[in-house]
């Protein structure tokens, strides 16, 4: 209708951290810890690379990769009020996750892993660390909005559901050509 076509789904997934079985960290896969000051220069690049290819449309909405790197730098600053966790392997940052806390609820930013480190358990380690941190903060609820294709789930959504998250809402994103 009106020339719009469905292009993707957006899922709202939530966890109740005190009802999720988390399990211990696996240090041999990745060491997950809080952001360090020396991480600030590299995080915007890791962030943008880790979003691809699933969030290319979002990167372009921000004006492209370089522009998103500029914008996102302030998100990682300690004064930003956001909690970030990074995954390291051999001293290098290979993934990140984070959330914003408001009262007893957290807005989860998702799990982002560099493409060459995917499917090796790094995302699972970041997810477990985020849930442990949510428990530490006494959060009753953690919520993420994530992408799904029209006919199947993207890897992030699969990870979130396997970790005990539940789909609470689903949205269809529509687009049309303006030319």
Distant-in-sequence, close-in-space partners of 43: CB < 8 Å, separation ≥ 6: 35, 72, 73, 76, 84, 86, 93, 96
- Mode of pairing for the β-strands spanning 105-113 and 141-148: parallel
Structural domain that includes position 18: 5-39+80-175
In a domain, 69, yes or no: no
Percentage of the chain exceeding pLDDT 90: 87
Residue 87: strand pairing partners: 32, 95
Residue 140 covered by a domain? yes
Q: What is the mean pLDDT of the chain?
A: 94
Confidence grade of residue 4 (pLDDT, cut at 50, 70, 90): very high
Q: What is the CATH number of the domain that holds 133?
A: 3.40.630.30
Q: Is residue 17 part of a domain?
A: yes
Please check whether residue 111 is in contact with residue 18, taking contact to mean a CB–CB distance below 8 angstroms.
no
For 80-91, how does the pLDDT look when each residue is reduced to its tens digit (9 = 90+)?
789 999 999 999
Model-wide pTM > 0.85: yes
Note whether residue 159 is domain-resident: yes
């Amino acid at each position: 209708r009106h020339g719009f076509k469905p292009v993707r789904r957006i899922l709202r997934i939530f966890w109740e951290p005190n009802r999720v079985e988390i399990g211990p960290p696996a240090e041999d896969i990745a060491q997950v810890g809080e952001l360090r000051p020396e991480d600030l220069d590299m995080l915007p690049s890791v962030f943008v690379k880790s979003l691809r290819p699933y969030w290319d449309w979002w990167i372009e909405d921000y004006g492209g990769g370089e522009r998103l790197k500029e914008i996102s730098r302030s998100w990682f600053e300690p004064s930003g009020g956001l909690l970030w966790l990074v995954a390291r392997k051999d001293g290098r940052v290979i993934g990140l996750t984070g959330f914003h806390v408001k009262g007893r609820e957290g807005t989860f930013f998702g799990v982002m892993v560099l493409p060459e480190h995917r499917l090796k358990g790094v995302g699972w380690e970041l997810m477990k660390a985020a849930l442990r941190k949510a428990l530490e903060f006494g959060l009753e609820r953690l919520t993420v909005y994530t992408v799904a294709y029209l006919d199947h789930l993207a890897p992030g959504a699969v990870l979130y559901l396997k970790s005990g998250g539940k789909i609470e809402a689903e949205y269809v994103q529509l687009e049309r050509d303006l030319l």
